[in-house]
Amino acid sequence: MSDQTFHKGDRWDFTIAVIDGNLAAFDLTGATVWVTVKEQFSDGDPGVLQVNSTDPELVITDAPGGVVTVALKKDKTTIAAKKYEYDVQVEKAGWDGPITTQRGAFHVTDEVTRAALP
C-alpha cells in the first residue's frame, strides 16, 4: 500500500499486501496487524484512526500470503479532510516489539455530494 486517497464519510474498503524487506509476502499466521492514521507520525496512539486484526473492520484474509482486508464504515471515516500519515505494523508472540511494514501519506478529501440517502 503506497500513498492513499479516500473521500471523507465514504465507506473505505481496501486490501493491503503486507510485505517484508525482500518484497516477499509476510506470513501473518498468528500475527496481530495494525493500521494507524495520524496527523503526524509522532502523535500518540490511536491517532485519528486505528484498527487492528482483533477488530471486525480489519481481517487477515490470507495469512500465509500476507493479505489483509480493511472495511471502514462512515462512523470511522468522517474525519477532517487533509493529509495524514499512516503505517501498517505487525507483531507476533515472542517478538521484541512490532515491525512496521509500510507507511506513507493518507489523503482524505471532502465529499462533493452531501445529501442524505433515504
**Cell numbers found for residue 71:** 472495511
pLDDT tens for 25-35 read 989 999 999 99
Domain membership flag for residue 116? no
CATH number, position 99: 2.60.40.10
pTM: 0.85
| Pairing of the two strands 4-7 and 99-109 | parallel
Q: Over 60: is that where the pLDDT of 1 sits? A: no
| Kind and range of the H or E run holding 67 | strand 67-72
31 in any annotated domain: yes
Is the pLDDT assigned to residue 118 strictly greater than 60? no
Q: How many residues does the chain have?
A: 118
Is residue 118 situated within a structural domain?
A: no
Whether 48 is in a domain gets the answer: yes
DSSP percent split of the chain into helix, strand, coil, nearest 5: 5, 45, 50
- Which residue's C-alpha cell is 493491503? 16
The verdict on residue 91 lying in a domain is: yes
Range of the domain at 68: 4-109
Number of domains in the chain: 1
Q: 49-52 and 31-38 as β-strands: parallel, antiparallel, unpaired?
A: antiparallel
